[in-house]
Amino acid sequence: MISYIRGTLAEKNEDSAVVEAHGVGYQIFVPVPVLSELPPLGESVKIYTYFSVREDGMSLFGFLSRQDLAMFKQLIGINGIGPKSALGILSALRPDVLRMAVASGDAKTISRAPGVGPKTAQRIILDLKDKIRPEDVLAGGLEESLAVPEEISGVGQAGKEAVEALTALGYSAAEAAGAVKKVKITEEMTAEDVLKGALRHLAFL
């Protein structure tokens, strides 16, 4: 299995990028938001990949963090969702937004993705709710590690409680997660402090 590819970014297409490594150009299908996060052509890039082998061919799907690749793998593990469908979902909903929607049971947000109706959205929530933690969203794409630093854990807990409070107030999971991520959370802040900061970004105060 190809875990990741590091090389020179050679091309950017509508739904893929080409990375040249050791004289070979690898076409890697990526979510639309990832295309805007890639460096300029000619610069070095590292993309974490999933190698899909199907009857109609072989394809590489890629992400800029292990955490987002793990989200992709969780999606394709759901019955009825293949790699292309999962890529479409992650093109419409950034991985952190999807994680928060699953954790809070926000089927409406998930249904915004193309080809995802209410039943599919509920199935995604049902299958993934025990595998996704809301604090993963607030890590902001931090790569997975065997040991999470204590200061990150503390920030995550305060942020998680703030997100839960915002959703209880009627905000969608996406709105709540987005507002909390805009707050510069420090180790000393409580969930109430984070909540107040998030509400300011939501123009509530």
Answer whether CATH 2.40.50.140 is correct for domain 4-64. Answer: yes
pLDDT per residue over 41-95, tens digit each? 999 999 999 999 988 889 999 999 998 999 999 999 999 899 999 999 999 988 8
Domains 4-64 and 67-201 share a fold: no
205 pLDDT exceeds 80?
Answer: no
Class of domain 67-201: mainly alpha
Q: Where are the domains of the chain?
A: 4-64, 67-201
pLDDT of residue 24: 96
pLDDT per residue over 113-122, tens digit each? 888 999 999 9
Q: How far is CA 203 from CA 29, 182, 200, in A?
A: 38, 13, 5
Going by the DSSP 8-state scheme, the letter that residue 64 receives in this structure is: S
Is the pTM above the cut of 0.85? no
pLDDT of residue 164: 82
Q: Distance from first CA to last CA of the chain, Å, rounded?
A: 51
